[in-house]
Structure 1
């Protein structure tokens, strides 16, 4: 069974690039099915860890980081200069910390072949893995 989790991002709606990111993840990970573990290592790099589940070994890759995303806010300003009233729109930019993360898990059977996968995270976190996996489908 393959588990594919959706986005849990505070940024908002999915963009077209985001849809491509998750599509590339799914397509690339499906391409790895049945291949030796080394194919995943060649594509994703060395895993960060492993654990044994029954006869299988699950390998994990992950990344997490925070970036400061600009957020533009407008407000109305009112006042008087001399006897003349005025109004204007003013804008300020603040930076909001945004967390990006992605986890990829690949299960390998006793024959050292990939038999299952799953991933979870958000667009920004999965982009690096997505671009590597996209090359498999090309």
Structure 2
């Protein structure tokens, strides 16, 4: 039981640390593209999913979403009084968990084709793809 708790604690810590790294990489990488021609972002992030015009500026958007579920086994034990003493009863079952990994990045470009700003929203599972691309490009 202690091994399971230790493994679970280690997994949660790893997820939290990797999430921080994902957003740190996005902040640094996207900021390095500000002031540069917008096509440099295309070279790193890939072709955007959408383009809009707002107040005379172009807004390019990238989006990523994965949803699903997974089932894991569960185990429990309890003490039961049988009339003559206590006995341990072991129970096995399962638990289904759901996930929703998502990320959206918006890039604002001025009339001269220069990147003015970025914004993003999402979670580490969804944004990890873009963080890896930025990291691979050395940004």
* TM-score (normalizing by structure 1): 0.78
Cα distance between partner residues in 2 of 1:133 and 1:50: 21
User: In the TM superposition, what is the alpha-carbon distance from 1:77 to its structure 2 partner?
Assistant: 3.3
Calculate the aligned-residue CA RMSD, in Å. 2.5
Give the stretch that moved more between structures: 128-137 or 73-82.
73-82
Describe the SS at the equivalent of 1:39: helix
The structure where helix makes up a greater share of residues is 2
User: In the TM superposition, what is the alpha-carbon distance from 1:96 to its structure 2 partner?
Assistant: 1.3
Alignment length (residue pairs): 127
Cα distance between partner residues in 2 of 1:97 and 1:107: 33
The one-character-per-residue Cα deviations of 1:16-36 (angstroms, maximum 9, x if unpaired) are 111000000011101111111
Q: Rg larger in 1 or in 2?
A: 2
Find out whether 1:98 has 2:85 as its counterpart.
no
Describe the SS at the equivalent of 1:107: strand
- Who is 2:121 aligned against? 120
User: In the TM superposition, what is the alpha-carbon distance from 1:69 to its structure 2 partner?
Assistant: 4.0
- Who is 2:37 aligned against? 36
* TM-score (normalizing by structure 2): 0.78
Cα distance between partner residues in 2 of 1:125 and 1:17: 12
Find out whether 1:55 has 2:56 as its counterpart.
yes
Which ranges in structure 1 are unaligned for 5 or more consecutive residues? 1-11
User: In the TM superposition, what is the alpha-carbon distance from 1:67 to its structure 2 partner?
Assistant: 2.8
Describe the SS at the equivalent of 1:112: coil
- Who is 1:24 aligned against? 25
User: In the TM superposition, what is the alpha-carbon distance from 1:74 to its structure 2 partner?
Assistant: 4.2
